[in-house]
Structure 1
């Protein structure tokens, strides 16, 4: 237990040092001035100290105090509890956002994989003259493309993967529109959607 107490004290002191530097920088900005190079250096040093004690805490604390500047004078006076709580809230938000982003990336991977497999199957069926079977696969692809209209998060992640989906990376249309258009053009002249 004494080790935990000393860790908390060390972290409290690091938060207090950060707050002192942040207070100086805020005072400069309030005067319409840019922070001094020495203040930026001191802020980076305070941030490195925070990150040594708790990884990524510098960015989380910085976001927390930017959202609520009243945390700074409290922490300068040694009352760091509210600042640490706000920092921990920012950490939870960051971690949640990372989880959501990772889940969306996995969903995008699955979409691209399925689109590529079904597109290949569609082309092979069309080439072999299996119209009924190719129309069924095409309908599944159209449903996938239209589904993006209701899933803006997935469409946003997939936007950077246009080339993997056989689309022009510079297109200004929605991904759903481009995917549907690609299927319409691949049916041959006069048979578009």
Structure 2
């Protein structure tokens, strides 16, 4: 949780400062964290109750995994980077 929040703040700062290389690297790390949740059902379950702290909108599909919600909410999926 703390690492995610640090990465989120860092990516926002990097974007504001125009550090696009750092921004992309930080967002990539966030994407990898989100993907790893799909392989850890126990952590996924714990984080499901902390969606607001993770910045997940509460109107997202309740049946969707937290990892998938993070990926969509933060635009960390492949499709966004490929312009799809």
Common topology (TM > 0.5): yes
Query: Over aligned residue pairs, what C-alpha RMSD do you find?
Result: 1.7
1:136 to 12, 25, 32: 25
Please tell me whether residue 126 in structure 1 is matched to residue 45 in structure 2.
no
User: SS of 1:184's equivalent?
Assistant: coil
* Larger radius of gyration between Structure 1 and Structure 2: 1
Please tell me whether residue 159 in structure 1 is matched to residue 48 in structure 2.
yes
* Count of aligned pairs between the two proteins: 77
Tell me the equivalent position of 2:38.
149
* Structure 1 unaligned regions, length at least 5: 1-111, 186-190
- Displacement of 1:170 in angstroms is 4.7
TM-score by length of 1: 0.38
| Partner Cα separation in structure 2 for residue 170 and residue 159 of structure 1 | 13
Tell me the equivalent position of 2:73.
182
Please give the residue correspondences for 1:1-193 in structure 2 after superposition, counting only pairs within 5 Å: 112-171=1-60, 172=62, 173-184=64-75, 192-193=80-81
- Give the number of the structure with larger relative contact order, counting CA–CA contacts within 8 Å between residues 6 or more apart: 2
- Describe the superposition over 1:160-184 as per-residue Cα deviations: whole angstroms up to 9, x where unpaired: 0000001123532211111111221
- Displacement of 1:124 in angstroms is 0.8
| Partner Cα separation in structure 1 for residue 20 and residue 33 of structure 2 | 20
- Describe the superposition over 1:23-80 as per-residue Cα deviations: whole angstroms up to 9, x where unpaired: xxxxxxxxxxxxxxxxxxxxxxxxxxxxxxxxxxxxxxxxxxxxxxxxxxxxxxxxxx
User: SS of 1:169's equivalent?
Assistant: coil
TM-score by length of 2: 0.83
| Partner Cα separation in structure 1 for residue 58 and residue 3 of structure 2 | 19
